[in-house]
């Protein structure tokens, strides 16, 4: 975090114009900014539309390095404090362009980064793309994934969403508040680790170090992910 501001980068894999995936990203960034604002954090938001980088990303796969705007987008993602990522469902998975982009990121730069996953599709029956495709990809990248992912089908945009927590707005708010909590935890564990004398004290008096706190945060998010996948007992 840069001087207290949270650098939030959102990656939109949508290809259409207008893009329903971009609409979902915009709803999520507003909800996350509001949720973080409750703790009076300043949020610096950047949205990357992958459709604008399609040619550069294709070239990067064959020449081995990302040119121009694609490199700038990868730098923004790698240096972000937290990410919102959203892809349209293409043939029951994320789009090829979305995968191509994340194939080019530096895996080590992604480690421990809080990530909120989201997807859009024509059919509500493909909502499991979040848990079958996006969640494994971002686990591989060693990110910390918010337990609630957000899927929006065409009918969610047609005003047919049910009221309450199960509707799109409820899912967005729940994911945003979990994400904000994760960002706060990571921010405070980083602040702790920058205070070296405190950390040394902690070693002597048996208190957990910043590294322990960070590891516990990652493990807690992992346990929450598993609990969610197992469903209600």
Ligand X SMILES: Cc1cc2nc3c(=O)[nH]c(=O)nc-3n(C[C@H](O)[C@H](O)[C@H](O)COP(=O)(O)O)c2cc1C
Binding site for ligand X (CB under 6 A): 14-16, 19-21, 88-92, 120-123, 126
Cα–Cα dist 36/39, whole Å = 6
Which of 20, 177 has the CB closer to ligand X? 20
What are 159's strand-pairing partners?
none
Shortest approach of ligand X to residue 214 CB, angstroms? 34
Report which of 67, 71, 58, 26 is spatially closest to residue 45, judged by C-alpha positions. 26
Pairing of strands 43-49, 6-12: parallel
Shortest approach of ligand X to residue 153 CB, angstroms? 7
Shortest approach of ligand X to residue 125 CB, angstroms? 7
- Output the CA angle 69-150-190, nearest 5 degrees: 65
Q: 139: which 2 tokens? A: 């686990």
Distance of CA 41 to the CA centre of its chain: 18
Shortest approach of ligand X to residue 182 CB, angstroms? 25
In degrees rounded to 5, what are phi and psi of residue 161? -65, 140
What are 6's strand-pairing partners?
43
Shortest approach of ligand X to residue 179 CB, angstroms? 21
What are 86's strand-pairing partners?
12, 118
Shortest approach of ligand X to residue 88 CB, angstroms? 3
Name the residue number minimizing CB distance to ligand X. 14
Cβ neighbours of residue 223 closer than 8 Å, sequence gap 6 or more? none
Cα Rg, the chain, nearest whole Å: 18
Cα–Cα dist 218/189, whole Å = 11
Which of 1, 54 has the CB closer to ligand X? 54
């Amino acid at each position: 975090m840069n001087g207290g501001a949270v650098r939030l980068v959102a990656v939109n894999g949508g290809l259409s114009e207008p893009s329903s995936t971009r609409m979902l990203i915009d709803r999520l960034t507003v909800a996350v900014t509001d949720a973080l604002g409750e703790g009076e954090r300043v949020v610096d938001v950047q949205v990357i539309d992958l459709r604008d980088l399609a040619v550069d990303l294709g070239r990067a796969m064959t020449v081995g390095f990302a040119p121009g705007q694609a490199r700038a987008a990868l730098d923004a993602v790698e240096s972000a404090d937290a990410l919102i990522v959203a892809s349209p469902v293409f043939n029951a998975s994320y789009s090829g362009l979305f995968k191509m982009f994340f194939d080019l990121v530096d895996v080590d730069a992604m480690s421990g980064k809080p990530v909120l996953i989201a997807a859009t599709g024509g059919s509500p029956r493909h909502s499991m793309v979040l848990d079958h495709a996006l969640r494994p990809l971002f686990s591989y990248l060693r990110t910390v994934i918010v337990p609630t992912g957000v899927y929006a089908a065409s009918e969610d945009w047609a005003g047919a969403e049910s009221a309450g927590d199960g509707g799109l707005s409820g899912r967005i708010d729940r994911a945003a508040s979990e994400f904000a909590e994760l960002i706060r935890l990571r921010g405070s564990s980083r602040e702790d680790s920058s205070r070296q004398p405190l950390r040394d004290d902690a070693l002597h008096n048996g208190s957990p170090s910043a590294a322990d706190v960070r590891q516990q945060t990652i493990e807690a998010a992992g346990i929450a992910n598993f609990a969610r996948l197992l469903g209600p007992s």
